[in-house]
Chains A and B, each alone.
Chain A
Amino acid sequence: MAKAQRVLVVGWDSAPPKELFEDWRKDMPNLDRLMNEGVHGLLRSTDPPITVPSWCSMMSSRNPGQLGFYGFRNRRVGEYTGKWIANAQAVKVDRVWDILSRYGKRSCVFNVPQTYPVKAINGVMISSFLTPSTESDYTYPKSLKADVERVSGGYIIDVDEFRTEDKAWLLDQIYQMTEKRFKVAQFLMQEKGPWDFFMMVYMGPDRLQHGFWKYIDKTHSKYEPGNPFENAARDYYVLLDQQLGELIAMAGPDTRIFVVSDHGAKRMDGSFNVNDWLIQEGLLTLKEPLTGVRRFSEEDVDWSRTLAWAWGGYYARIFMNVQGREPEGIVPADQYEAVRDDLVRRLEATTDHTGRVMRTRALKPQDIFTGPCNDAPDLFVYFDDLYWRAGQDVGHDSLHSFDTEIGPDDSVHDYDGILVMSPTGNAGSRVEGAQVMDIAPTILDTLGVPVPKEMEGKIIATD
Chain B
Amino acid sequence: MVEPGAVVWFTGVPASGKSTVATLVEEKLRAMGCLVENLDADEVRQNLSPNLGFTPEARDENTKRLAWMGKILSRNGVHVLIAAVAPMRYYRDRAREWCPRFVEVFTTAPFEVCKERDPKGLYARGERGEINDIAGWHQPYEEPENPEVVLPTHELDLETCANMVIAKLRELGYLSCDGGCGCGCDDGYTAEEQAKVEERLKDLGYM
Contacts and interface: CB of A to CB of B under 8 A. Distances in A.
> Are both chains from one complex?
yes
Interface residues of B, number: 35
Contacts of A133: 196
B156 A117 contact: no
Interface in B155-207: 155-156, 159-160, 163-164, 166-167, 170-171, 179, 183-187, 189, 192-194, 196-198, 200-201, 203-207
Given A119-B167, A132-B196, A132-B197, A406 B184 contact: no
B149 interface: yes
Contacts of B150: 102-103
A334 to B, nearest CB: 34
Interface stretch (A146-154, A155-163, A228-236): A155-163
A105 to B, nearest CB: 8
Contact of B160 (A122, A163, A406): A122
A92 B184 contact: no
A406 B193 CA distance: 23
A262 interface: no
A137 B201 CA distance: 20
Of A131, A137, A140, A142, chain B has the most CB atoms within 10 Å of the CB of A140
Given A72-B201, A85-B201, A162-B204, A120 B167 contact: yes
A405 B164 CA distance: 44
By secondary structure, the A interface counts as loop
Nearest to B198: A85
Nearest to A157: B200
Contacts of B200: 158, 160
B197 A104 contact: no
Contact of A118 (B152, B186, B205): B186
Interface in B85-116: none
A118 B184 contact: yes
Nearest to A99: B150
B82 to A, nearest CB: 20
A253 B99 CA distance: 48
Given A87-B197, A122-B160, A409-B205, A104 B186 contact: no
Interface string A113-132: 00001111110010000111
Contacts of A73: 201, 206-207
A407 B185 contact: no
A404 interface: yes
A119 B183 contact: yes
B154 interface: yes
A92 B167 CA distance: 12
A298 to B, nearest CB: 12
Given A103-B152, A136-B193, A142-B184, A120 B205 contact: no
Of B154, B170, B171, chain A has the most CB atoms within 10 Å of the CB of B171
A304 interface: no
A406 B201 CA distance: 11
Contacts of B194: 85, 132
A245 interface: no
A121 B160 CA distance: 7
A381 B53 CA distance: 68
Contacts of A141: 159, 184
A221 B196 CA distance: 35
Contacts of B192: 132
B171 A120 contact: no
A407 B205 CA distance: 8
Of B170, B179, B205, chain A has the most CB atoms within 10 Å of the CB of B205
A76 to B, nearest CB: 15
B152 A117 contact: no
A163 B184 contact: no
A120 B186 contact: no
B185 A117 contact: yes
Given A120-B160, A120-B167, A405-B205, A130 B186 contact: no
Contacts of A102: 149-152, 164
A11 to B, nearest CB: 19
Interface string B69-97: 00000000000000000000000000000
Nearest to B106: A102
Nearest to B195: A132
A146 to B, nearest CB: 15
A89 B193 CA distance: 13
A406 B166 contact: no
Interface in A349-407: 404-407
A5 interface: no
A83 interface: yes
Of A132, A140, A405, chain B has the most CB atoms within 10 Å of the CB of A132
Given A120-B166, A406-B205, A89 B189 contact: yes
Nearest to B172: A92
Contacts of A72: 201, 206-207
Contact of A104 (B155, B171, B204): B155
Contacts of B171: 92
Contacts of A313: 206
A119 B185 contact: yes
A105 B151 CA distance: 11
19 contacts: A72-B207, A73-B206, A73-B207, A85-B194, A101-B164, A102-B152, A102-B164, A104-B155, A105-B155, A120-B167, A120-B183, A122-B156, A132-B196, A136-B186, A141-B159, A163-B204, A163-B205, A405-B205, A407-B205
9 shortest A-B CB distances, which residue pairs? A406-B205, A104-B155, A104-B152, A120-B163, A117-B186, A132-B193, A132-B196, A140-B184, A102-B150
